[in-house]
Structure formats: structure tokens, C-alpha cells
């Protein structure tokens, strides 16, 4: 009689279920830093204004026609706004007109001084001050101007006024 023996061996546990292979992984992290710089802008400045009158009259720009601007800053200490004439005199537009109007005859009133103060060439005049940052959309600043018209030739006399916003 012939005897047969079947010997079976199972190696590695083969079964009817599939198992997912384990993936190796590693992780790390980073720190996001947002560095915010100091910012100040002076914008929306009224491009020009006109004071009209006859010699001896005192005329004012304001009462609905003031010079306005917007100051925007994130500086927690605030800002100051100054104005000064670019030249000593306002010059006439008519060719051959040698008359001039001294820029010091032009007076400004802003939130900083409360009353009209004469401008001076070479000397910035503070017209606004705030000791905290502006509103996110900026702070609107208003200045009124006035002059007593001097005895000069009829003409339109012009001069540039330089505004500067500075952080405190």
C-alpha cells in the first residue's frame, strides 16, 4: 500500500484578507511671521483754491470750501501735519506784472491752532496733530484760508503750499 503524505506549510500567514502597507512619515512645523512696517500717507489734498476780492477786503476760503486732506497712519503715537509756502511771494499770471503778494499775508486755520495764523516761507506751520493712529480709512483734516487783499494790480496771484504729514 502506498501511503502519501501531504505536508503543507504556511509561511507569513497568508489569508484571504489584504492588509495595507504602513507608510512611513515625518512632520515638522514652521512659524509664520508678519512684519508690519510703519506707514503714513497724505492723500486727497484739495488741488487748488481761490480767494477773490478787492484791495482792502478780507476774504476767507472755508464755510463749505475748505482745503481738505486725508491722513492715514498705523503709527500708535500719531502724526503731525504742517504747511509752508514754497516761495516768499505769490506771483501774478499776467505777463509783465511785477506786483507780488507776500505769502505771509496768507493765513491758515486748522485744528492745531484754532485761529488764523500767517504762513511763513521756510517755516513749517503745524495745522493738525493727533496722538494716536488714524482711523483705518484715514482722518479727514480741514484747513480754512484767509487774506486781506493788498493794493496790487488786478490779476490772479498763485503760489504753491507744501503740506507734509509726519509720524510722531
Condensed to tens digits (0 to 9), the pLDDT of residues 103-139 reads 999 999 998 888 999 999 999 999 999 999 999 999 9
136: in domain: yes
Within-domain flag for 156: yes
Rounded CA separation 68/43 (Å): 9
Whether 39 is covered by a domain: the verdict is: no
* Locus of grid cell 501531504: 6
pLDDT of residue 1: 47
What secondary structure letter does DSSP report for 86? S
Domain count for the chain:
1
Domain containing 71 equals 54-167
pTM above 0.85, yes or no: no
Assess contact for 105 and 148: CB atoms under 8 A.
Answer: yes
Mean pLDDT of 89-103: 97
42 inside domain:
no
> Is the residue at 23 inside a domain?
no
Asked if residue 129 lies in contact with residue 75, where contact means CB atoms within 8 angstroms, the answer is no
Q: What angle do CA 68, 73, 79 make, to 5 degrees?
A: 75
Whether residue 134 lies inside any domain: the answer is yes
Angle, alpha carbons 67-47-122 (nearest 5°): 75
Q: Answer yes or no: are the C-beta atoms of 111 and 126 closer than 8 Å.
A: no
4, three cell numbers: 502519501
- Residue 96 counted as domain residue: yes
Q: Residue 109: which CATH number? A: 2.60.40
Decide if pLDDT at 26 tops 50.
yes
Q: Mind listing the pLDDT tens digit for each residue in 48-71?
A: 999 999 999 999 986 567 899 999
CB-CB contact of 146 with 66 (8 Å): no
Q: Is the pLDDT of residue 164 over 80?
A: yes
In a domain, 48, yes or no: no
pLDDT at residue 20 is higher than 80? no
Amino acid at each position: 500500500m502506498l501511503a502519501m503524505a501531504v505536508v503543507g506549510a504556511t509561511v507569513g500567514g497568508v489569508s484571504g484578507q489584504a492588509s495595507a502597507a504602513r507608510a512611513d512619515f515625518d512632520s515638522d512645523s514652521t512659524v509664520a511671521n508678519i512684519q508690519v512696517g510703519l506707514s503714513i500717507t497724505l492723500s486727497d489734498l484739495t488741488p487748488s483754491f481761490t480767494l477773490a476780492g478787492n484791495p482792502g477786503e478780507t476774504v476767507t476760503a472755508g464755510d463749505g470750501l475748505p482745503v481738505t486732506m486725508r491722513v492715514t497712519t498705523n503709527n500708535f503715537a500719531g502724526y503731525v501735519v504742517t504747511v509752508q509756502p514754497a516761495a516768499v511771494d505769490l506771483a501774478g499770471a499776467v505777463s509783465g506784472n511785477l506786483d507780488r503778494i507776500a505769502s505771509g499775508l496768507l493765513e491758515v486755520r486748522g485744528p492745531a491752532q484754532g485761529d488764523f495764523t500767517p504762513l511763513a516761507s521756510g517755516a513749517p506751520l503745524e495745522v493738525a496733530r493727533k496722538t494716536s493712529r488714524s482711523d483705518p480709512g484715514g482722518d479727514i483734516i480741514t484747513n480754512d484760508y484767509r487774506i486781506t487783499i493788498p493794493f496790487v494790480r488786478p490779476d490772479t496771484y498763485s503760489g504753491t503750499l507744501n503740506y507734509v504729514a509726519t509720524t510722531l
